Amino acid sequence: MSVGIAGYGVYIPKYRIKAEEIARVWGADAENIKKSLGIKEKAVAARDEDTITIAVEASKNALEMAKINPKDIRAIYVGSESHPYAVKPTAATLAEAIGATPELTAADYEFACKAGTAGLQNCIALVESNMIKYGLACGADTAQASPGDALEYTAACGGAAYIVGRKSDDTVAYFEGTFSYTTDTPDFWRREGQAYPRHGGRFTGGPAYFKHIVNAATGLMKKLGLSVNDFDYVVFHQPNAKFPLRAAKMLGIDAGKLKAGLLVSETGNFYSGSSLVGLAAILDVAEPNSRILCVSYGSGAGSDAFSIVVQDAIEEKRIERNVAYYLKRKVYIDYTTYLKLRRIVKGG
């Protein structure tokens, strides 16, 4: 495979709500919640932010790193569970906002939390086949959660964008391979017109998350002739802080390899942006020649796994507005403000 990452970028809204604040409102045991989920706080979009604005900001940061003409981007895919419109593509608005129109293909993807990596696979394939020069894949969400539901502690807002092109000395990393594992497993769903998703408790762990993450990871390693010892960094989809660590243990991966990309305790679950923002956090600190295992997960259910090798160019192409920048940029809000920002109640 001769495809690399020309640039990547993230965006995380500045507002945060602490787990203690949500627990206070519902009379829950905050310490028990934090211990069981590994969640301290989550990112919340402002009134004027949505999946489109998150995707635009992340893509602008990716362009700053890539230093390419946006007109050379000939494919844009945006994966999300929370596209602002049921009929009107997020991808077309994103393309217009970054100056990539009109000569390109664009589409919105949905596959729960792995829609962003599905778009990334498509970009890789189009570049590898020489159909396009550059493709842009974005995973972004303003995740929904019913007030009082356990998901309310984790459903967060944020995303990441990746510009994919031919592997060269100018790409910051390259793809060794990708592998996917998909089944029909009803662990999490939201019907058309429903405001909030529902989840089938007993399905969310073993038959869903762990089965797909583990099989996608092992399938990729078998395909490439690699073992867990060949990877310096690992990032999995992060619905909470405990699931990725347990998946790593099942695969025989040292927990320390997840540390750089395990952000969920401070940010919440970005859904379609979860594994991609975690990957960006790793790329922000990884040394050249490091190998990264990235595995997404989307309810319904499926996982995409990638083996990525960091290149020398990353040292000079890193930008200021990285993951650490957005983690430090935060303003805490109370629950009433949270309800207004998420448009759960009127006002604000």
According to CATH, what is the number of the domain 173-315? 3.40.47.10
Neighbours of 110 (CB within 10 A): 16
**For the chain, which residues make up each domain, given as ranges?**
3-171+317-341, 173-315
Q: Per-residue confidence of the chain (348 residues) as pLDDT tens digits?
A: 899 999 999 999 999 999 999 999 999 999 999 999 999 999 999 999 999 999 999 999 999 999 999 999 999 999 999 999 989 999 999 999 999 999 999 999 999 899 999 999 999 999 999 999 999 999 999 998 889 888 899 999 999 999 999 999 999 999 999 999 999 988 766 777 777 666 666 667 668 999 999 999 999 999 999 999 999 999 999 999 999 999 999 999 999 999 999 999 999 999 999 999 999 999 999 999 999 999 999 998 999 999 999 999 999 999 999 999 999 999 999 999 999 998 876 554
CA distance 322 to 10: 7
CA distance 257 to 277: 16
pTM: 0.95
3-171+317-341 matches 173-315 in fold: yes
Q: 3-171+317-341 architecture in CATH?
A: 3-Layer(aba) Sandwich (3.40)
Residues catalogued as catalytic: 81, 113, 237
Of the candidates 125, 88, 143, the one whose C-alpha atom is nearest the C-alpha of residue 277 is: 143
CA distance 137 to 273: 11
b/e per residue 224-238 (b: at least 16 CB within 10 A): bebebeebbbbbbbb
In the structure encoding, which two tokens stand for residue 279, read together? 């990957």
DSSP string spanning 245-284? HHHHHHHT--GGGGGGG--HHHH-B-GGGHHHHHHHHHHT
